Structure 1
């Protein structure tokens, strides 16, 4: 990386952001402390490398053509406290298990992308929160402040930007060890899945697991090189929300002379920050990483065409992903017109379904939750729309954890409203637990087999 050129480019990004204005940014109480934190981040090594981002772009291009399927999964909001070896292992394990099932169902390579090593900031509907007459700044993720509802914890602290870097570096280091050191061996992953279907509640998936088992034995009998299956690619992704973190992590690649956001392989812009003339869209338009944009029913097709022109003017395969978040009751009516207009324009984006964010509601007991059946139904609607239009359903984007939390209703475990308080651990949105995540993978594998 060319430090001098990177510094100049970072300054350009900051000037552009100041001119355009950036939504959903914290109100830092000390500008000098922010400058110090940003300067420190600028001096640190990249977390990912440009060549890795280019590989992911190629993989996403394959998904757009129907030659691969993307699985994005991980925490809604990572916390520093959860960046432990066990938690990281269990999240990776869950994604690997899901990917093995999806690979069989799709008969395609599955591109594994974790919502990991950077998902420390969250947009909020309000800048403040009031409890019992006390008003404090909203919790914006561990990169900004702490979840505890006390003044010292909720005050935005720019030193947390630096802490986020170190947590991300530790997470990526362990993820790379897990995915290249034998933990991701396909034989181990399959054995884990056999344990899942051994549970009587998951008996309906036994046939799929049995078919995978036969395929594994067939490969072994044919002398398949299982050593080549001991490792796997695993990419990191997060929402490019907090620009005081993303800008200093943007570097000029010495190989190509082009800018990459080295905080992650893939970054996306969320529903609240995708203003065509805003700082977030400007930022991702300037970097070479593959990028995503969340698309809700409120997104007008004409706006999306303008967005494509801004973010992917050269129509580079794999450059742009649209992550649709419609809601189970809306996707079949809202998505077709969007997909049709984008397809007619000649743009080749990768379509990924986020079946989580459009299906959130408050339960009778007062917990923010989602119903597993709604999640499944939105994915089913996603496949139905693309099948009817002759377009490619490229992947799914799921908030999940490897732990046995009780945050989403339903699933084969039949989590009820009364159960939510047992292990409701999220600091933001409810996640599918380990069992629900695997069940979703088996159901999506069935959908892929019908495509």
Structure 2
């Protein structure tokens, strides 16, 4: 495959409708910024992307489970060591519980190191009769409701790259340098169980993990095996100029990879078959995902498979369903049945967050943990009934004690939302709610084995 032919394919999206793209004031400045991005070192490497693809192939065969999570929208101010460590700590705690309960490897993917852009339902926001461009994430403009802050600034794309690099460096250091040691993470979970009002529910699983670790130690298992973990980065492939600038031709294979992240996904608003986003993603060789909402038909799903993975490469394509707790039990079975009959190797992952958002009387967007858990339960029930593999969960969470979603072992009620409502976009589970979810998913997974 020649570089010239690949480059031509990679730019074919420019002739197609591209939704959810910012209106930049100065096209020349955008060209200058993307040229600078194109000269920067890769954030990830083709070999790492292929390794993740292999792990996701295991998910399609029912041999592994995906845990994907992190911020709804990362912020530049949040790219600190403390914030990254807290998110990673929560993800690792959840992974230990799920690994033990599922008795299969858990593929750990962060919504981190690149989730700086968000689609919006309206291009503008109006407050008090003042109309300004909508906040599209720190990669595009600022959160403050001022004309200066809301200007779509292409220089922010460079800052997004540098903040992604900082976050990835921290994640690699933490996951390889002893912070992710299995015994330490388990100790964190024991602490959570001891302090959580719902802790008694989890004592059995925590105790079983403790005995398993004691047994392995008594057998002389090498402690180095518990010392580090594989961790992968992901974000929504929304800003096509940014993604294109960070696409490289791998020197070994001659194939194109988007080196902004290991895993890229398309949202419900940008998965049009004749759109620019699908056209771009079909040419890169990263493992990719597509969000599927409740209006998705089985034929839609098959058409996406044909467009994005016509060769049927295992691990290449993940479907992330976001149906809503009240719709998943009816909307999901027809998709799975028809895709399963087609023989396409698909990893099925549940996003129980986006279909369960509502506005509290205070005006805060929020989600009920009970609804999130109900959608996950419905996801497992459907797969159990069809004899297929529930491949993972995709959630929005933070490692901090925010008050953005209601419910949980330490219950947050709607009147509490204002106390620490810190999200830049959608409401996230806090650390306690995330661990509540992990232990409950562990129980559900055990029932399917």
TM-score of the superposition, structure 2-length normalised?
0.98
Whether 1:103 aligns to 2:103 is no
Q: Aligned partners of 1:61, 1:183: CA distance in 2, in Å? A: 28
Q: How does 1:38-187 map to 2 (within 5 A)?
A: 38-187=34-183
Structure 1 contact 68–108 (Cα < 8 Å) conserved? yes
Q: RMSD between aligned alpha carbons?
A: 1.2
How far did residue 9 of structure 1 move?
Answer: 4.6
Structure 2 contact 398–431 (Cα < 8 Å) conserved? yes
Name the structure 2 match of 1:196.
192
Deviations 1:298-350 (A, max 9, x none): 11111211110110011000000000000001000110001001111111100
Deviations 1:8-60 (A, max 9, x none): 8556534x222102000000001111001000000001100000000000000
The secondary structure found in structure 2 opposite 1:136 is strand
Whether 1:343 aligns to 2:333 is no
Structure 2 contact 325–355 (Cα < 8 Å) conserved? yes
The secondary structure found in structure 2 opposite 1:45 is coil
Name the structure 2 match of 1:245.
242
Name the structure 1 match of 2:264.
267
Whether 1:371 aligns to 2:368 is yes
Q: Aligned partners of 1:218, 1:448: CA distance in 2, in Å? A: 23
Deviations 1:83-125 (A, max 9, x none): 0000000000000000000001101110000000000000000
Q: Aligned partners of 2:37, 2:395: CA distance in 1, in Å? A: 29
Name the structure 1 match of 2:15.
19
Q: How does 1:306-325 map to 2 (within 5 A)?
A: 306-325=303-322
Query: Aligned to 1:233, which of 230, 234, 245?
Result: 230
- Report how many residues are paired: 447
Structure 1 contact 406–422 (Cα < 8 Å) conserved? yes
Q: Aligned partners of 1:68, 1:237: CA distance in 2, in Å? A: 18
Whether 1:419 aligns to 2:395 is no
Moved more, 182-191 or 218-227: 218-227
Q: Aligned partners of 1:306, 1:414: CA distance in 2, in Å? A: 43
Whether 1:391 aligns to 2:356 is no
The secondary structure found in structure 1 opposite 2:202 is helix
Give structure 1 stretches of 5+ with no counterpart. Answer: none
CA gap of 1:365–1:224, structure 2 versus 1, over 3 A, is same
Name the structure 2 match of 1:429.
426
TM-score of the superposition, structure 1-length normalised?
0.98
Structure 1 contact 10–248 (Cα < 8 Å) conserved? no
Deviations 1:358-382 (A, max 9, x none): 0000012211000000001100100
Give structure 2 stretches of 5+ with no counterpart. Answer: none
The secondary structure found in structure 2 opposite 1:37 is helix
Moved over 4 A (4+): 8-12
Q: Aligned partners of 2:311, 2:139: CA distance in 1, in Å? A: 34
Q: Aligned partners of 1:427, 1:121: CA distance in 2, in Å? A: 11
